[in-house]
Amino acid sequence: MQMAVISAAERSAMARARELALEGPRGINPQVGAVILAPDGSTLAEGHHRGAGTPHAEVDALSRLAPGAAAGATAVVTLEPCNHTGRTGPCAVALIEAGVARVVYGSADPGEASRNGSGRLRAAGIDVTRLDEPEADALIADWLFVQRAGRPFVTVKWAQSLDGRAAAADGTSRWITGPEARAHVHGERSAHDAIAVGTGTVLADDPQLTARIEGRADAPQPIPVVFGDRAIPETAALRRHPRPLRTAGHELDRELRALAADGIQSLYVEGGPTLASAFIRAGLADRLTVYLAPTLLGGPRTALDALGVETIDEQRRLTVTRLEQLGSDLLVEATTESEQ
């Protein structure tokens, strides 16, 4: 099979399209960027998707050109042009009508209704090539996960002593880890769409659940989600969170699907052994992020509760994907079998 030839200008345009994509919001739709190139490789126009109901990236870029100006051009897009009519029309049709001669795209569209825009373009006589780079899927990895699983990607985090305790016998837990590990946690918070705790953690610790990053007053903030039935006090710090507070019940799978329906692609579960164990027990933890502190606490306050493991044959094997020292602490990241 003959390998597709990608020009240096097209590769550079794809890198630029990924930058443009990140200017759009995360949500129900993926972040997508597009660059229109003239036959000589120069840039004619750029565009990106600005959220549900707004023009897709290709159409946004085309809208910046005079009628007919895209004839014979190349459209470079981070995601395969869509092939269906939703709130907006098919991008494949818009490109055909604009008269482009070539389309280079990154990720394949996984949607049941929207996929195969590339086939529609080829049928119209347009040269179509996929630039299969890992950066393309990485750009929208959480969105792609939602399309496959119907729920957000879930990271479960906890900090513990070397003997597996999350708190001292009297319940105090600030601080097991050092400042470097805590700074890393704030970066993780900012990288997720939402952050979850249980009502027990709210009542015991009154957490802020904000991302506080030195030198980043504009750091993205996760939406706070509280699982459980108990009332959240009006004086709780979460009531002053910059994002609207959400509450959720005990049926985790149903609640996760509701979050996905509202455009939440990733969830950071931070709140206590009860909630962390519930997600793991239900098979809903996709990544585990554990901070190990070089200290011993003893006592009953273990980092996890029962996971439904009765015998050694039922142990939940993980794949370690990252080991890193943060100050005096050790960060261990692992994926569950569902993500291996």
Known binding-site positions: 56, 82, 91, 159, 173, 175, 189, 201, 205, 209, 212, 270, 272-278
| Exposure on the CB side of residue 53, measured as CA atoms within 13 A | 0
User: Shortest CA distance to 100 belongs to which of 67, 64, 72?
Assistant: 72
Active site residues: 58
CA distance 254 to 308: 21
| Annotation: binding site for substrate | 173, 189, 209, 212, 270
Asked whether 222 and 194 are in contact (CB, 8 A), the reply is yes
In Å, how far from its chain's centre is CA 134?
A: 15
User: Shortest CA distance to 134 belongs to which of 15, 12, 4, 6?
Assistant: 15
Peptide bond into 158 cis (omega under 30): no
CA distance 278 to 292: 21
CA distance 73 to 78: 17
User: Shortest CA distance to 155 belongs to which of 115, 107, 199, 188?
Assistant: 188
The SS3 call for residue 295 is coil
Q: Which two tokens stand for residue 142?
A: 């959480």
Asked whether 191 and 161 are in contact (CB, 8 A), the reply is no
| Annotation: binding site for Zn(2+) | 56, 82, 91
